[in-house]
Amino acid sequence: MDAAGSVALVTGAASGLGRATASRLAAAGAKVVLVDTNAAAGAQLTGEGLGTFVRADVTSEGEAATAVDRAVALGPLRVLVNCAGVGWGARIIDRHDKPHDLGLFRRILDINLVGSFNMLRLAAVAMAAGDPAEGAGQPAEERGVIVNTASIAAFEGQVGQAAYSASKAGIVGLTLTAARDLASRGIRVVSIAPGLFETPMLGLVPEKTREALMGAMASPHRFGDTGEFASLVLEIVRNPYLNGETIRLDAGLRMIPR
């Protein structure tokens, strides 16, 4: 799939992995629709020429549909990248012997997993309604690519990550099924399971913990650059043989319990 001339919709585009991905896709010639709840940051991105901003909550059917409609109005929607997510932590039993807040658990799953699926299902309909991408071969005429963001926490969740790990494991479980469901429509689905990247979320980690985590990496011993995530997204878009897979991007890191 050639990003140039296609429309790409990126959620969580106001910062971190989403912002880097939007920038990379724009540089590759895509018309980018930037989706986020942070309107101020979205306006800044638009001012920088990265694309069209739509303020939308990915968990809302109506707002997500509006974002997809805006994308379709710009041309053939070929790419969806789901980067919107949250990572609040809580133990199943806290220090006061109270159980994990059920509302918090539901909220994290709602944003990370249900929100990703909400965007996926709506974007898939729009992609399927379009013509095959120019140059796509038979019999699998390619109409679109959907990239979801999982996490290595899906495989090695740490203490306090019950909700986050469950939400990201759901993304992993969704990947192959969605790829099989959408294969007849010419739509590929791939997920990336990033390790530790220099994003606002990682800035909350204490320095001592950061050093220990870097030491646990095989190589290189550093946190990932968001541009490296964006580079993999672009390769997934371009490589027609990547499908139904979750790709770890983590410098060989295997998370310790805490």
What six digits make up the tokens of 133?
């991408």
Distance CA 246, CA 255 (A): 17
* Beta carbons of 196 and 224 less than 8 angstroms apart: yes
User: Known catalytic residue: 164?
Assistant: yes
Instruction: Could you list the beta-strand ranges (E) of the chain.
Output: 7-11, 31-36, 52-55, 77-82, 144-149, 187-194, 246-249
Catalytic residue among 105, 164, 197, 229: 164
Distance CA 187, CA 154 (A): 24
CA-based nearest residue to 250, from 223, 210, 215: 223
The two beta strands, 7-11 and 77-82, are: parallel
> What's 205's DSSP letter?
S
- Known catalytic residues? 164
